[in-house]
Amino acid sequence: MITRQLLRQSIKRNYSVKTERAIVLNQQQLQTFDLDLEGDFPVQEISVDSEPVVRGSEEASFGRKRIGCVELPRSLIQGVDQIIEHYPDKRLIRTDSLRLFDALRSTSGRQPQNEKEAVEPHKLTYGPRESVAYTASVMSGNYAAIYNVLKELKSRVSSFNPNSMLDFGTGPGTAIWAAKQLFDVEAYTAVDLSEDMLNVAEQLEKSVKMDKCQSIEFKRYLSYNPMAPKTDLVISAFTLGDITSEALQKSTVEQLWSQTGDILVLMDRGTPVGFQNIAKARQWILDEQDAHVIAPCSHDKPCPMLFSAESKPNQMWCHYSQRVQRPSFLMKTKHAKNNIEDIKYSYVILRKGKRPSPQSDMETQAYDWPRLIQPPLKKNKHVVLDTCSKEGEIQRMVIPKSQGKVPYRDARKAAWGDLFPHGSKNKVVTRLSKGVVEQD
């Protein structure tokens, strides 16, 4: 413990008129050491501002979409490890995974940079080998994307607590394992055409700890009974792209919507083709005039990235990114040295009923906030934001520093996919006009 004599010596040693120095003591310390500083040592009281420093707005925090790197649950990783451990020839897992990646790239709609990389568009049938390869290579990224979307749903609609869930095109049960982390669903229904995929999902169910009140019903076909109760949450993730024709896609989406009691989530790959699948499915449902979009759109009008006159969906399309931590089995399958990867996806969350009018709470106000469709451009004393607006247009906003500390900081901290709660001080520029759908 420091003594009064040592403190006095320290003050005299460190204080000099030529090199002005200060020693900060509170009132209690002054009384404890009984120091007389009114002579050679001037005393000045420092005022403390009790008001908190405002760093950013609550609205910007509420509209934030990024959640950081997603990690798969330990029980799910152990379940996949057990499946791989009992596989007769582990080398085939990587071989089949490469075939899967080639098939996915061939149907993405992107033009390969090298002609040698061009592959004839094709799709694979998921047999026993392909199902295991999918689980070991593709499932982790899809899980992270689904988890992001469901977490956003839970944040945006805090009153939504589904009791039942239907996962169409469940694969190894990816969406079910993600929903299990966020919602207390009592009854799950998993539908997939591939019997081998369902076998993998059933094996994982034994490894993933489920509550006693929770149950999963595995089915190969999507049956519809008009007398049966509707499902609170219906999900179809990364499945529409596997359906061969647009007519079958439309009938599938309509059937899913007919079984939806409250909310329908549609997801596909973040490629031009995947985006177009989601945008068309979104429009098919909105044409029924009994639905509204929760996310990502700030409007219920036709998507300007697909249906406007200036749109170029192969160059600019609505998609987002989520980072996932690669489990050890994924690193071994891909022969990867980096333990993270980013998954690109397109999605839409639709809900029954009319679009809510903005009220005093942030949940309803957020329906009208524009969403960043790409990363912001941070310039000198201003930020450029490309957003999807409530007018149904793609607009460019410029947030200058002169607009205010809070809006400017929110703009500097905004990220791809976030909702932005502020207007623009300057005039917005329309990059893509409103979409127009031709009526048959």
268 assigned to some structural domain: yes
210 assigned to some structural domain: yes
pLDDT tens digits for range 173-200: 999 999 999 999 999 999 999 999 999 9
E-strand ranges in 326-376 read 340-352, 371-372
- 323, 352, 381 — which closes off a domain? 352
Are 179 and 237 members of one domain?
A: yes
d(CA 248, CA 256): 12
Structure tokens at 410: 């929110």
Q: Are 81 and 90 in contact (CB under 8 A)?
A: no
Are 206 and 269 members of one domain?
A: yes
Are 250 and 297 members of one domain?
A: yes
78 by DSSP, 3-state: which? helix
**254 Cβ neighbours under 8 A, 6+ residues apart:** 284, 285
d(CA 371, CA 394): 10
Are 235 and 156 members of one domain?
A: yes
Helices in 57-211 by DSSP H: which ranges? Answer: 58-62, 74-85, 91-106, 128-137, 139-156, 174-180, 195-207
262 assigned to some structural domain: yes
165 assigned to some structural domain: yes
Q: Answer positive or negative: Cα dihedral of 373, 351, 184, 143.
A: negative
Are 226 and 305 members of one domain?
A: yes
Are 314 and 180 members of one domain?
A: yes
- 288, 320, 352 — which closes off a domain? 352
Are 382 and 240 members of one domain?
A: no
Are 407 and 319 members of one domain?
A: no
pLDDT tens digits for range 101-144: 888 888 776 655 565 556 677 777 888 899 999 999 999 999 99
Indicate yes or no: pTM above 0.75.
Answer: yes
Structure tokens at 34: 């009984």
CB atoms within 10 A of CB 426: 14
* Domains identified in the chain, total number: 2
| Spans of the chain below 50 pLDDT | none
Are 384 and 331 members of one domain?
A: no
Q: Are 394 and 342 in contact (CB under 8 A)?
A: no
Which residue, 420, 167, 419, is CA-closest to 296?
A: 419
Structure tokens at 48: 């403390």
Q: Is 392 left (phi over 0), alpha (psi -120 to 50) or beta?
A: left
Find the domain containing 424 and state its range: 369-432
Are 409 and 346 members of one domain?
A: no
d(CA 312, CA 306): 7
258 assigned to some structural domain: yes
Q: Answer positive or negative: Cα dihedral of 13, 17, 19, 24.
A: positive
pLDDT at 278: 96
Distances in Å between the Cα of 18 and the Cα atoms of 14, 15, 21, 248, 336 are 11, 9, 9, 85, 62
82 assigned to some structural domain: yes
Are 291 and 377 members of one domain?
A: no
Structure tokens at 140: 């982790």
- 292, 317, 352 — which closes off a domain? 352
d(CA 196, CA 217): 15
pLDDT at 436: 84
**324 Cβ neighbours under 8 A, 6+ residues apart:** 69, 70, 71, 72, 140, 141, 143, 144, 340, 341, 342, 343
160 assigned to some structural domain: yes
Q: Are 354 and 291 in contact (CB under 8 A)?
A: no
81 assigned to some structural domain: yes
Are 69 and 197 members of one domain?
A: yes
21 by DSSP, 3-state: which? coil
pLDDT at 284: 94
pLDDT at 46: 66
CATH of the domain at 304: 3.40.50.150
Residue that the structure tokens 């939504």 belong to: 160
